[in-house]
Structure 1
Amino acid sequence: MTTPAIPVIPSALADLRKSYERAELNESASHALPLQQFEQWLQEAISAQVPEPNAMTLATVGSDLRPSTRVVLIKDCDARGIVWYTNYDSRKGRELAGNPFAALQFHWVELERVVRIEGVVERVSDSESDAYFKSRPLDSRIGAWASPQSQVISGRGVLVANAAKYGAQFLLNPPRPPHWGGFLLRPQAWEFWQGRKSRLHDRLHYCQDGDAWVRERLAP
């Protein structure tokens, strides 16, 4: 029996480089409040039509102290923080139930920008989750019932059968599943990264000092 060859990473991979020269980020031109800076950058990402500007990486830590990440979609942001929706019984939901500290990251490659946010997570109210759930397309609402997220299933047929089952049961008005709803991350720290030439990137860090935000520059 022949042992399959192990793919070798091309040596050119180590030579992949990009010079970041699109923009700059300095203290005088940035907002004093991190939420305002985030809203400006998010709107600029939307206006630039970057792919999925609302996509963010969510990092959580389980009871085994091992971190895990996945991509979720921001659905709201206000003075409270950042909101997204998911299955509470999923791995991320279970990990947040045991350890509410989490981190988010937006990476807008085309704009050479990264935003990192760290804070404490809590569930949004049932009324807020209900309102958002009703705004979703019908197939997405059925999907929330059909998918036992993060659980092992025997095949895709399980999802198809579940979708057919709940579609027939609820028709055009599926209620919000009790295991599905919103999370809110209340930021305790923000970082805004702007790529710059020669790897001398701009990094502005905001941290809480009582009710105020302190803005600092970090070395790249």
Structure 2
Amino acid sequence: MYHIFYFGENPVLRDRGGLWIGWLGTKEFPEKSHLDRILAEQSSLIGYRLEPVHLTPEEVELYYHGFSNEILWPLFHDLFSRCHFNPSYWDAYENVNRLFAQAVADNTDETDYVWIQDYHLILVGRELREKGIKRRTGFFLHIPFPPLDIFLKLPWRFKILEALLQYDLLGFQTIRDRRNFISCVRVLHGYRTSGRGSVRRIITTDHQPLAGSFPISIDFNEYAQHAS
């Protein structure tokens, strides 16, 4: 399944148990009985459940290759010349994030903590709130968050920023990334922040998310085993 081996999360799920919801990483839809058997076998090996989200070839092209990797990834890495701002990409990005939000709603309850990973799924927290689905939510960005002058080039900057503010906890790789995010929040929305250290509270009109820098490491034992 796509994203299944973000090495920072795999040990947590393996040790504590849980459910990973993800795209299969293929445009083909396997037969259900065959897929169920494969997922059951993998779940027994890794120690947590797997729940697939099916995407059509068009969704993969517009959402994954399009908005995620022709807009967000290059822009957030300050590669503006490589961005392709196709409006149809945004529609697909919203639709696929709704699919993931529905999968979260169908497979979790209010006692669960939902931890969303990376720029492909920024809108999931917003979609859950709009559906009235109460979950404790966190989001971690595995790529840099751009400074204000770069972020302003994103046509959907307000929608992306508002969606990020729907999470209870926002995680960034570095203090610089967190500072860039808070700078965008202050300038574009006028929200205040409180707190000191690596975690700050953002004071919005109806929500007070926390934003912190949490550097993520590789799974040393995993790499050492493969290298031996």
Please give the range of the TM-score, normalised by the shorter of the 2 chains: under 0.3
Max Rg structure: 1
Higher helix share: 2
TM, length-normalised to structure 2: 0.24
Structure showing greater relative contact order (alpha-carbon pairs closer than 8 Å, 6 or more residues apart): 1
Q: TM-score, normalised by structure 1?
A: 0.24
Structure in which a larger fraction of residues adopt strand:
1
